[in-house]
């Protein structure tokens, strides 16, 4: 009877130790999620038709070039580059931008981009961060960059369109208070051209 009890407990201990070995080997085989590159949102570039205004804006080129790397990146690599991206966006924010972009709506987009890069760089200090959290913040950062580039394209296309359109200044009438700054500048240039032509 004693031998059968010892044999029974021995089999139980032996079978438990085998299960422990199996689970330990599966943990070793798993691929770490922090090192696996993941595809993220694509970067929207400034439309090539209107890039002449921002051609010499080196800070914008540097940010776009660096953010392009985040389209297909592992969470670990993204965190490694987060601080450099934050500094590039800070220099973009502090740089001298083209006068046509000197508008609160554009500054708001640059500020949002700066805040998203600050959040991404803050993730480097959180030890319990997950790969999904990092991927989500990468997508937000790329989306904020896309908003900046789209705004540049929109403003420059609007300027080009207004320069090509002939405005009959006598027909604007009361609605002239509803036009924006770019249109007012275009009308002012048109008036100056008319005055020079009349002289």
Give the residue-averaged pLDDT of 54-80. 92
The region of weakest confidence among 25-29, 40-44, 106-110, 179-183 is 25-29
The whole-model pTM stands at 0.69
pLDDT single digits (tens) 143-191: 999 999 999 999 988 888 877 776 665 655 545 555 666 666 777 777 7
Distance CA 82, CA 79 (A): 5
Q: In which band, very low, low, confident or very high, does the pLDDT at 15 lie, cut at 50, 70 and 90?
A: low
Burial of 2 (C-beta count, 10 Å sphere; 0-12/13-18/19+): exposed
Distance CA 44, CA 89 (A): 16
């Amino acid at each position: 009877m004693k031998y059968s009890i010892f044999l029974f407990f021995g089999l139980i201990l032996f079978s438990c130790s085998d299960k422990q070995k199996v689970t330990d080997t599966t943990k070793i085989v798993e691929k770490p999620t922090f090192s696996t590159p993941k595809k993220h949102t694509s970067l929207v570039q400034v439309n090539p038709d209107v890039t002449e205004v921002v051609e010499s804006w080196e800070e914008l080129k540097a940010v776009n070039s660096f953010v392009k790397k985040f389209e297909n990146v592992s969470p670990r690599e993204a965190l490694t580059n987060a601080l450099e991206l934050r500094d590039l966006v800070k220099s973009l924010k502090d740089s001298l931008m083209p006068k046509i972009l000197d508008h609160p709506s554009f500054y708001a987009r640059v500020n949002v981009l700066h805040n998203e890069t600050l959040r991404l760089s803050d993730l480097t200090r959180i030890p319990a961060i997950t790969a999904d959290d990092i991927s989500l913040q990468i997508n937000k950062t790329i989306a904020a960059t896309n908003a900046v580039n789209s705004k540049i394209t929109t403003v420059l296309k609007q300027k080009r369109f207004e320069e090509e359109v002939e405005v009959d200044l006598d027909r604007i009438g009361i609605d002239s208070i509803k036009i924006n700054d770019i249109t007012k500048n275009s009308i002012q240039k048109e008036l100056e051209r008319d005055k020079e032509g009349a002289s």
